[in-house]
Structure 1
Amino acid sequence: MLTGLNHITIAVNDISRSFDFYVETLGFTPKARWASGAYLCLGDLWLCLSADEVSPRQDYTHYAFSIRSKDFDMFANHLKSFGVKEWKSNKSEGKSIYLLDPDGHKLEIHDGDLNSRLNACLKHPYKDMVFFNGMNGAEQK
């Protein structure tokens, strides 16, 4: 039986450049580094950077990281001071900044959680949206 997300591995062209971005710009904690990779942590998340030829995706796949609402504006300004490139404008509930890492991987910094998203969706559901497991007032399966 699965118990949760174990880790995320991201292919990167340049370990040093990506290591600096994730540690210095985003605030990950370094745990180990070697010629072709690094292990970093953010809360309970274990992130592996792995040297490889990167082929950024053109779809909506992205990795979202949590931030407290009270810290969002200051952190978004911090990111902008590093010249991060934004790939999308926020249209969802809560505050988000959508940015690219040095290899073009799509990232999001978001101040909400699953409950805040579902509560927003209860008020304004997506087309053909169905809710599960006791979401009040919504069609359930």
Structure 2
Amino acid sequence: MVNGINHITISVKDIDSAFTFYKNVLELTPIMKSKRSAYFTAGQVWIALDERPNYEKSDNYAHICFNVPKEKYLHFIEKIKQNNITEWQSNQTEGNSLYLYDDSGNKLEIHFSTLSERIEYGKQHFGTDVEWFI
């Protein structure tokens, strides 16, 4: 049912330093930058940076988000929950997401929105301290 990677989130200690690295060294395409996060694209892949100033393994927000079709999302989530998965956080962003651990303790997310939907939502709800590049 998974039809691709929705986004990859990377935890960083300092958003300004990380933004410079991902933009100037790796030459990713910037989408937005705020006080604690930034979005880029690497080809067709959406990369999200999330600042964790007190970064420790326990505060690591890094995860891979898999995309499922919107019309199959609820069925897929029910199937996952039937396998007694452990969730690592409740959803706090727009849209529906399930945050789960795999059996090795890796953080995963299941979601169905697109980067363009997140951009539209962000421009309406993220506030004025966000710099948009598109």
- Shorter-chain TM-score bucket reads 0.5 to 0.7
* RMSD, aligned CA: 2.3
In structure 2, how many angstroms separate the alpha carbons of the residues matched to 1:89 and 1:71?
Answer: 20
Length-normalised TM-score, structure 1: 0.52
1:1-141 mapped onto 2 (5 Å cutoff): 57-58=57-58, 59-125=60-126, 128-133=129-134
Residues 81-134 of structure 1: CA deviation (Å, up to 9, x unaligned): 00111111111111110000111110000111111111110110157211112x
| 1:26 aligned partner | none
Count of matched residue positions in the alignment of Structure 1 and Structure 2:
80
| 1:3 aligned partner | none
In structure 1, how many angstroms separate the alpha carbons of the residues matched to 2:95 and 2:73?
Answer: 10
What one-letter code is carried by the residue in structure 1 that aligns with 2:84?
A: G
Choose 1 or 2 for highest CA Rg. Answer: 1
What one-letter code is carried by the residue in structure 2 that aligns with 1:79?
A: I
In structure 2, how many angstroms separate the alpha carbons of the residues matched to 1:71 and 1:97?
Answer: 14
What one-letter code is carried by the residue in structure 1 that aligns with 2:62?
A: T
Choose between structure 1 and 2 for higher RCO, CA contacts under 8 A separated by at least 6 residues.
2
**Secondary structure in 2 aligned to 1:92?**
coil
What one-letter code is carried by the residue in structure 1 that aligns with 2:74?
A: D
Cα distance, 1:126–1:91 mapped onto 2, change above 3 Å:
farther
Cα distance, 1:77–1:113 mapped onto 2, change above 3 Å:
same
Length-normalised TM-score, structure 2: 0.55
In structure 1, how many angstroms separate the alpha carbons of the residues matched to 2:127 and 2:71?
Answer: 28
| 1:14 aligned partner | none
8 A Cα contact 1:93 1:116, kept in partner: no
Q: Structure 1: any 5+ residue segments left out of the alignment?
A: 1-7, 9-44, 46-56, 134-141
